[in-house]
Amino acid sequence: MAEDRARPGELDQTKYDADDSVKIICLGDSAVGKSKLMERFLMDGFRPQQLSTYALTLYKHMATVDGKTVLVDFWDTAGQERFQSMHASYYHKAHACIMVFDVQRKVTYKNLHTWYTELREFRPEIPCIVVANKIDADIKVTQKSFNFARKFSLPLYFVSAADGTNVVKLFNDAIRLAVSYKQNSQDFMDEVLQELENFDLEQKAAGDPAPDREQRGAVEGPAPS
């Protein structure tokens, strides 16, 4: 968990601390349509930045929320999803998550569980939207209930990157959620946790195992109001 902070030069994430900047991550299995959704939202305006060493694509976007300009970085995976796990730095400082499955493939729905579990290990509080993509292929799915979203009280969006249904709404809502999450920030809590981790590390004698995620979870208290 600490290693992503040890490489500031390569992938500087301190900018996400600035008031006008948010980070939104995409999760989901291979070929569910994450990249197509990004492209549909950004249209010609998209300027993807490939970071191949991280198997990562960054899309930069400028949005206006309540009259204020917000710089949005969308993080999209570029192959790493095949391991059904992302590097810690992918989650680091994220303010919202867009989690996609393919309505034509059950495995991608089932795997939401794995994605969600990992997301919550790193970012217990950030808003997360569940996205049922490719509804153009089978519009009847929009008449069905999907318990995953209900079980975790997550909003569910039916979208199509192909015909565009609800894509713009999805991304604009995600940006709003990210901004409002940031304003009522849990980031403060995360910083405190990091301090605690460092403290913990310093306390331990060399050779002791580093604190694992369980321990991190254990020091988590209720969020400050």
Residues lying near another protein in the complex (CB under 8 A): 29-31, 36, 43-44, 79, 81-84, 104-107, 109-113, 136-137, 141-151, 156, 158, 160-169
Q: Select 139 or 218, whichever has its Cβ closest to ligand GDP.
A: 139
Using H for helix, E for strand and C for coil, what is the string for 30-53?
CCCCHHHHHHHHHHHHCCEEEEHH
Q: Select 47 or 106, whichever has its Cβ closest to another protein.
A: 106
With CB under 6 A as the contact rule, the residue among 162, 189, 192, 196 that binds ligand GDP is 162
- When CB distances are held under 5 to 8 angstroms depending on the partner's kind, the choice from ligand GDP, Mg ion, another protein, none that residue 145 binds is another protein
- When CB distances are held under 5 to 8 angstroms depending on the partner's kind, the choice from ligand GDP, Mg ion, another protein, none that residue 133 binds is ligand GDP
> In the bound complex, what is the minimum distance in angstroms from residue 53's beta carbon to another protein?
16
Q: Write the CA distances from 77 to 29, 35, 48, 169, integer angstroms.
A: 10, 8, 12, 21
Helix (H) or strand (E) holding 174: helix 167-183
Q: Write the CA distances from 2 to 8, 115, 198, integer angstroms.
A: 12, 21, 9
Encode burial over 198-214: b for 16+ CB neighbours within 10 A, e otherwise: eeeeeeeeeeeeebeee
- The reply to whether 168 sits near ligand GDP by the rule CB under 6 A is no
Binding site residues, Mg ion, CB under 5 A: 34-35
